[in-house]
Structure 1
Amino acid sequence: MGAVALPMAWQALLVALLAGGTGLFGVMVLVGALAVLAYLFVVITITGEVSVLGATGGRRLLWALLVVGGGTAGWALGWAVTDVAGLGVSHNLLLTFLLGGVPYALVAGLFLAGWKLNTAVLGLSVVLISAGVVVLRHESPDEFEARLAADNVHRETTYAVAIPGYLPTDGGDYGDGLGGASFHPENPDAVPPDRYITITRYDRAMLGEQMCGQPTAQDSRLTWGSCKVEAGGLVYRHNEIEHGYQVPVGHRYVTVVGTPAVDHDLLRAAALSLHLATTDELGDNRELAGEYYTAAVPGYVGQATGSPPGMLYAPVDQTGNGAQSVSISLYVTYAAGDSICFDTIECTPDAGLTYVRQEDTHGYVIRRDEVNVQVLGGLRVDKTLLRQAALNARPATDDELRRALPPLKPHGVIDRLRQWLRNF
């Protein structure tokens, strides 16, 4: 019954679902379930003396339910295991019939009277389930290649390296400190604070919103926190994220905002020197004259930003500004037609490597077969550390890639079970 009728019943149910919709499927499930339970109830009634659940009608019904439920679960699991292992059982009708009843027989065997028989069945079940778990945890080469393709990973350009004092971030974490993309200092205290200033124009104020008697500009970045009226009528606003001034200019409001590391006096001097940006100050954005406001900010250089009209000022000296100045990145590109000296301030050969420096990064490039391996860091990163990292970078192994790749989206219960087993 388990070898022939039940597998055929499941296939018939699948056909009914595809052909007749949920109504016919539901009817066939109900009829099939009742027929199977009735058959198994007859079986346990005839052979009740050899089972620990064969004495009463209630126990016999429980036995039938346990056999059909546990057997079907084992049958489905066995189907998945043989498919994953590539045994081809599900594609061979004879093997399906011969082996399809095994899970049902094993469940029934667990309730045999006599400890020798049910202990032997239990041991065999444990062995088969353990083997199934091993198979389901395993990832076939085809599955692995599918994950690589889904994440757009190319083996030729996927490298790994461990950098002393640094941890991988932003993907490409292969475990044990190995990374394949970006790295940040292991010690948070090694990251200098960001120092940026923004000057932004706003045309409307929020109704009823005031800080220290001054209306608050609509969409402004200084709408909360503390405030203080300073000499000359300027209102200094500050919170945990930024601080600065909101200055009325005609019917407009212009904010001068800095990150916490920016000096208060520098922001005040900028607020006092606010004026409409000239064509020379806007550089390549001369057509925006009359829309943007700028100020005198010693040691900083500004550039125009989008809507609302504004200017972003960054320190001229980028060697100590923010996480970028101490971060490290690993890039691997195909060497064909690739000029490593393009758009660089300095490009110098160095014993098989090439030292390159750009406006705010520097590092080394080394040729590996058909690719260029680049390790670039912020201007505060030690040059020797970058050179050694470029020399140590190597292709990532399959095991390292498996740790870094996201799992494929599961399709069904078995896929979810396989992912759970791999993460267990």
Structure 2
Amino acid sequence: MRTEIENDGPPRSPGPAAAKPVPVLAHLAAAWAVGSVFLPTAGAVLPAMLFAGGEAVFLVLAALGVAAILGYLVIVIRATRDVSVLGATRGGRLLWALLVMGPGTAGWALGWAATDAAGLGVSRDAALAFPLGGVPYALVAGVLVRGWRHRAVALVLSVALLAAGVAVLRQEPPDELEARLAARSVHRETAYVVAIPGYRPDDNAYGGGLGGSGFAPANPASVPPDRYITIAAYDRLMVGEDMCGQPTALDAHLPVGSCTAEPGGLVYRRGPVEHGYQVRVGRRYVAVVGSAAVGHALLRSAARSLRPATARELGDQEQTGDYYAAKIPGYTPQLTGIPAGLIYTPADHTGNGAQTVRITMYVSYAGGEDVCFLTKECTPAGSGLTYVRKEDTHGYAVRRGTVTVQVLGGLRVDARLLRQATLDARPATDDELRRALPPLEPSTGLDRFRRWLRAL
């Protein structure tokens, strides 16, 4: 009886068997010695050589040390070639030595940095540094041994330690926030924040609508326009410039958009931002110019009431014949320098539109400032608050431990809003400070590496 045997090809040779435990341990121990014996020895010798022989000697010895470690690893893999999957060929053995030295050293450096960042102090404790220093080299060698079980254990341990090291290094060092505060001259005690309904902070660095200093209305349309009138004299004319039969004074801040001749020889000029009149007084041309929010009739009345400014209006300034004043109800004058003249603003301090609705928070150490100094009104307002009224601002002050918090706004700001903002002001949290403060400039390669990790 004939029996047929199916044969799909030549007999298959069994795959490489897993290495035995004792040779594997000897193989791994030899790789472990790189980080636990050779590198600590080099770390003790090389700094002394740098001090004794200078930088050139240090570099030569460092290069010799790298070559010695690489040569040692080549000897190790030749002696234990049957243990590793790369031990069969000369090229494989050289690759093994480079892999153990390169990634092993990277893991060694990462491990020291991570344990120092975690405050474990391994690098300063010889009893811990000796057994742990060679672990990264042994793990790299373990990933390359024969037998999937050995490789799996080494790979899992490598990934776990790498993930733990990265997680630690991504965290901010305990003293970094304090260093960032010091770099920006920010004192934690006076770093207060508040969110004010209907307002946005000038700098939204804290996030969440929180601000630590200035605030402006969230709706720009709610900002009232500026109101002012300037009066300045000029004695030179622009060549060939004529509007409605009237020449234009050189350097005068006078609108040149359109003109209208009015009774009494006045010429009204209107531009996109300002409008007003130019009146000839002797050899000078006096410009009476107002912001767009100032009424036409008020400017006309001012132009018709021009006269030389009095000594009282000029204060300490000498009257040179260049200063003119006018009768402008509801406005008070001040001297200006460029151009020399007078500027009139509303007597109730509501003329500077943006400033009348701005809010500012001030935080100072208690006792360092008298909140009632130079105020028109300073009265207790309950809940530990003090209401203060100054020339063009008002608001509240409150004592918070070692600091005094003041929230002041322009005269158009509702006092109730300022009161609530003063009560709501609180110290900034660490997370808010981290967000608001710029990071420190990295000073070492490790600093740059940690910043890169945090950006991932």
* TM-score, length basis structure 2: 0.70
One of 370, 375, 378 as aligned partner of 1:339 = 370
8 Å contact kept, 2:395–2:415: yes
Whole-angstrom distance in 2 between the partners of 1:202 and 1:40: 91
Q: How does 1:271-286 map to 2 (within 5 A)?
A: 279-283=311-315, 285-286=316-317
State whether structure 2 residue 187 is matched by structure 1 residue 154.
yes
Distance 1:121 1:193, change over 3 A: farther
Deviations 1:42-73 (A, max 9, x none): 33344444444444444443433333232222
Aligned residues: 412
**How many Å apart are 1:311 and its aligned residue?**
6.2
State whether structure 2 residue 120 is matched by structure 1 residue 73.
no
Task: Give the equivalent residue in structure 2 for 1:34.
Answer: 67
Distance 1:117 1:373, change over 3 A: same
Aligned-residue CA RMSD in angstroms? Answer: 4.7
One of 139, 148, 160 as aligned partner of 1:127 = 160
Whole-angstrom distance in 2 between the partners of 1:22 and 1:3: 26
SS at match of 2:391: coil
**How many Å apart are 1:193 and its aligned residue?**
4.6
One of 158, 166, 170 as aligned partner of 2:199 = 166
**How many Å apart are 1:267 and its aligned residue?**
8.8
Whole-angstrom distance in 2 between the partners of 1:146 and 1:372: 25
8 Å contact kept, 1:202–1:308: no
Whole-angstrom distance in 2 between the partners of 1:421 and 1:267: 65
8 Å contact kept, 1:274–1:293: no
Whole-angstrom distance in 2 between the partners of 1:57 and 1:122: 25
8 Å contact kept, 1:148–1:405: yes
SS at match of 2:201: strand
Whole-angstrom distance in 1 between the partners of 2:225 and 2:69: 71
Task: Give the equivalent residue in structure 2 for 1:325.
Answer: 356
One of 144, 152, 159 as aligned partner of 1:111 = 144
8 Å contact kept, 2:407–2:422: yes
Task: Give the equivalent residue in structure 2 for 1:408.
Answer: 440
Distance 1:90 1:215, change over 3 A: farther
**How many Å apart are 1:25 and its aligned residue?**
3.7
Task: Give the equivalent residue in structure 1 for 2:5.
Answer: none
SS at match of 1:26: helix
One-letter amino acid of the structure 2 residue matched with residue 387 of structure 1: R
* Higher alpha-carbon deviation: 150-159 or 261-270: 261-270
State whether structure 2 residue 125 is matched by structure 1 residue 89.
no
Task: Give the equivalent residue in structure 2 for 1:24.
Answer: 57
Task: Give the equivalent residue in structure 1 for 2:412.
Answer: 380
One-letter amino acid of the structure 2 residue matched with residue 177 of structure 1: G
Task: Give the equivalent residue in structure 2 for 1:364.
Answer: 396
Whole-angstrom distance in 2 between the partners of 1:117 and 1:291: 101
Whole-angstrom distance in 2 between the partners of 1:42 and 1:107: 17
Whole-angstrom distance in 1 between the partners of 2:253 and 2:92: 72
Distance 1:252 1:29, change over 3 A: farther
* TM-score, length basis structure 1: 0.74
Q: How does 1:184-195 map to 2 (within 5 A)?
A: 184-194=216-226
Task: Give the equivalent residue in structure 2 for 1:350.
Answer: 381
Distance 1:398 1:203, change over 3 A: farther
Whole-angstrom distance in 2 between the partners of 1:333 and 1:92: 46
8 Å contact kept, 1:364–1:390: yes
Structure 2, unaligned runs of 5 or more: 1-33
Distance 1:128 1:322, change over 3 A: farther
One-letter amino acid of the structure 2 residue matched with residue 385 of structure 1: L
**How many Å apart are 1:375 and its aligned residue?**
1.4
Whole-angstrom distance in 1 between the partners of 2:52 and 2:324: 71
Task: Give the equivalent residue in structure 2 for 1:43.
Answer: 76
**How many Å apart are 1:5 and its aligned residue?**
1.0
Task: Give the share of equivalent positions with the same residue, in percent.
Answer: 58
Deviations 1:366-389 (A, max 9, x none): 233343221112222222111111
**How many Å apart are 1:259 and its aligned residue?**
7.2
Whole-angstrom distance in 2 between the partners of 1:67 and 1:230: 87
Structure 1, unaligned runs of 5 or more: none
Whole-angstrom distance in 2 between the partners of 1:93 and 1:195: 76
SS at match of 1:333: strand
